[in-house]
Structure 1
Amino acid sequence: MRIIAGEMRGRQLKAVEGTLTRPTSDKVKGAIFNVLGDKVLDARVLDLFAGTGNLAIEALSRGSREAVLVEKSLNAHKVICENLEKVGVSPKAKLLLMDAFTYINRYPSEVFDLIFLDPPYHKELVSKAILTFKEHFYLAPFGVIVAETAKDEELNGDIFPFEIRKTGEYGDTKVWYLQRMDV
């Protein structure tokens, strides 16, 4: 796993041992950031279910202003901390050891330009997060939620005021791009 573009291009990132954390592959990550393009520049990023910190660190490498990374696994939290230090972006990152939904409800006034959701597959966590975001204004106008699910998963429930702007499938992964409809 490596940073694929930007200021820290080519730097290797540490992975979490075991099978509980599934880092976004370089192929999927490249596709995500190609779709996002300039939306990454000067963005405030939230990486829920951060895992290794892979997505937030890639965003910082490509010019994002700051990132908040939320991870509840102590082992993954330690790996993220090492990765942030290793590539030198710790000053731009806030790493929290907590459950994603605890974070969302504890900090209801936070606003982000990019939100990455890459939870464990087949647990409906993406749908639950989007439904929770509806209660708060987490996404800035013209911001983007990028969510990864298994290819056979769907988003359940009424997601208004968000709408799906694009999807992409890469192997067993489906990537969803959502934006607010009311902007």
Structure 2
Amino acid sequence: MDGLQTRPTTDRVKESIFNMLQTYIFDSRCLDLFSGSGALGIEMLSRGARQCVFVDSNLEAIRCIRENLKKTKLDHQAETVCKNATQFVETYDGEAFDFVFLDPPYFQNLILKNVLELERRNLITNDTFIVVEYGTGDPEIDALKEYFKVYREKTYGKISVIILRRQDENSSISR
């Protein structure tokens, strides 16, 4: 949708993410936090995820996501929430997610507090993949690595992606 104030994940980055995660997607439940266009969550649904919750504070972004979900006939598997991501995480009362995607505005100190709150509220488990797209060099990522184990990490110039898991080694999915 033209005029949207989003930074869509590039095709190259998206392809890389899904190549790393493909075998775990079927029948999963995901959260697309700071959804923007919803491209990551919609890709999850199209690859066999059972459900995705899309959260963005921008009403135009939510309208775009809803439109894209209708066009792809995936709207029955989705929930869209127009809310500040931190408020959503602090108040959401549902089951844990298998995948959490975070693509917040870069260098705004939104990553660590939201991931730790998801952890505190038991919205992530030992088997949850936490996928963060961030501006290369963001100091929050080093802090995040103190709490979570790095599953994969890749840099694409000014954009980096890290996939994290809980530190607990009792995950039912091999690393």
Same fold (TM over 0.5): yes
Which residue matches 1:167? Answer: 153
Which structure 1 segments of 5+ residues have no match? 1-14
Task: Give the letter for the 1:176 counterpart.
Answer: I
Which amino acid letter does the alignment assign opposite residue 48 of structure 1?
Answer: L
Of 60, 64, 76 in structure 2, the residue corresponding to residue 79 of structure 1 is 64
Q: Counterpart in 2 of 1:7? A: none
Query: In the alignment, residue 165 of structure 1 is paired with which amino acid?
Result: Y
Whether the aligned pair in 1 keeps the contact of 2:112 and 2:144 (CA below 8 Å) is: no
Compute the displacement of 1:159 (Å): 5.6
**Contact residue 71 and residue 98 of structure 1 kept, 8 A:** yes
- AA matched with 1:92: Q
1:181–1:16 CA distance, 2 compared to 1 (3 A):
farther
Q: 1:55 aligns with which of 40, 57, 60?
A: 40
* 1:34 maps to which of 19, 31, 38: 19
- Cα distance change, pair 176–62 in 1 and its aligned pair in 2 (3 A): same
TM-score, normalised with respect to structure 2: 0.89
Equivalent in the alignment of 1:24:
9
Return closer, same or farther for 1:164/1:121 CA change in 2, 3 Å cut-off. Answer: same
Aligned with 1:60: secondary structure? Answer: helix
Task: Kindly state the Cα deviation for residue 16 of structure 1 after the two structures are TM-superposed.
Answer: 5.1
TM-score (normalizing by structure 1)? 0.85
How large is the Cα RMSD of the aligned pairs? 1.6
Unaligned runs of 5+ in 2: 171-175
The one-letter code matched in structure 1 to 2:162 is: W
C-alpha contact 1:130 1:159 (8 A) present in aligned 2: no
Query: For residues 116 and 2 of structure 2, what CA distance do their matches in structure 1 show?
Result: 29
Aligned equivalents of 1:87 and 1:48: distance in 2? 20
Between the two proteins, what is the percent identity of the paired residues?
36
| Letter of the 1:46 counterpart | L
- Contact persistence 1:24–1:54 (CA under 8 A): yes
The answer (yes or no) to whether the contact 2:150–2:164 under 8 Å persists in 1 is: yes
Write the deviation string for residues 66-122 of structure 1: whole angstroms up to 9, x where unpaired. 100011101111111111111110000000111111111112553000000001111
Q: Which residue in 1 is equivalent to 2:53?
A: 68
Which amino acid is the alignment partner of residue 180 of structure 1?
R
**Secondary structure of 1:119's aligned partner:** coil
Note closer, same or farther for the CA distance 1:70–1:129 as it changes in structure 2 (3 Å cut): same
Q: 1:16 to 1:138 in 2, by over 3 A?
A: farther
Q: Secondary structure at 1:22's aligned position in 2?
A: coil
1:1-183 to 2 correspondences below 5 Å: 15=1, 17-18=3-4, 20-154=5-139, 155=141, 157=143, 161-182=147-168, 183=170
Code of the residue aligned with 2:125 in structure 1: it is: A
2:146, 2:47 → 1: CA distance?
Answer: 30
SS of alignment partner, residue 134 of structure 1: helix
